[in-house]
Structure 1
């Protein structure tokens, strides 16, 4: 099955009851610690609410494939922790499963929607093309004398971090109307 070979990202959004934030933070620490013990778990990111902008917590779990993600999602451990945290939140969580580069194409404060693949491919290609050329012009000369494998490692790590945290969020906002046209 094609999806077995793809990294799967589970995005959970949830609004915490007023006054329960400290308990929710402790609960988050516990449930993410348990998730870490499951095969294929590749990391968890937590985006906390921003007053006046985004009221919900966004929890992002990544797994190395569909079966490992499914093992966590359907586990008794997760079921137990969800029951423990139920009194801390206003409603059921909104859960989305995405794979591949789709996670780069999300707009802050909005549910993740997947734009057409040709659009994500074009914007990813354009961003990678520009960024790799800029890194080669400005960073590679500073690394001369290092072994080629180390240079490649530094460039690719820098590129992925910049794409994930700087470039793609801005590109997504810039091209939002093209990626997510309004339906009449």
Structure 2
């Protein structure tokens, strides 16, 4: 029960990967536009991203649906609309899709070009803490002096925006690669 309550209070991401039958890519793209536009009509939908195949790197399509909480995600995942569109697209794919649900910071810890796996939470917490600790000290040392004349709330706003952007797009992808052997140790 506690785990379910925790999930309800977090953003939830579902990652779906599947291989499209050769020659069906155009039809699959049309199907993808339809199912993603239907998903947008569901409460709590925060966005959909599609990572298309890259020759020599990755064969599968990866579709990422983000919702504001577990219950809204569940409503979409168990909906008749989704079931209808999955049935419409069955002939376009080689097998059933691989579906993985992520919540919180887990999505930071994925390696490009590899199936999404989530490391143990204590490892993600430790690396996130270390990254935040180092980054906040660097930002306060180098950025705060440049912002001295501004009100404290504006300084805080600039620091947090910069920190989240750096964590998401620069720091965590590199930290994930650097510590991948430790994060994903068997």
Evaluate the alpha carbon distance shift between residue 81 and residue 148 of structure 1 in structure 2; reply closer, same or farther with a 3 A threshold. farther
Alpha-carbon deviation of 1:9? Answer: 1.1
Alpha-carbon deviation of 1:119? Answer: 0.8
1:97 is paired with a residue whose SS is strand
1:77 correspondence with 2:81: yes
Return the TM-score normalized by structure 1. 0.88
1:98 is paired with a residue whose SS is strand
2:15 is paired with a residue whose SS is strand
Alpha-carbon deviation of 1:23? Answer: 2.6
In 2, distance between residues paired with 1:153 and 1:27? 41
What does 1:148-159 align with in structure 2 at a 5 Å threshold? 148-159=152-163
1:132 corresponds in structure 2 to 136
Bigger mean CA offset, 138-147 vs 69-78: 138-147
Return the TM-score normalized by structure 2. 0.87
1:9 correspondence with 2:13: yes
In 2, distance between residues paired with 1:104 and 1:126? 14
Among 91, 106, 112, which residue is 1:108 paired with? 112
CA root-mean-square deviation: 1.9
Unaligned runs of 5+ in 1: none
2:112 is paired with a residue whose SS is coil
2:91 corresponds in structure 1 to 87
Among 59, 65, 78, which residue is 1:61 paired with? 65
In 2, distance between residues paired with 1:19 and 1:76? 28
In 2, distance between residues paired with 1:149 and 1:96? 38
2:164 corresponds in structure 1 to 160
Alpha-carbon deviation of 1:107? Answer: 1.7
Alpha-carbon deviation of 1:149? Answer: 3.1
Alpha-carbon deviation of 1:134? Answer: 2.6
1:18 is paired with a residue whose SS is coil
Evaluate the alpha carbon distance shift between residue 137 and residue 71 of structure 1 in structure 2; reply closer, same or farther with a 3 A threshold. same
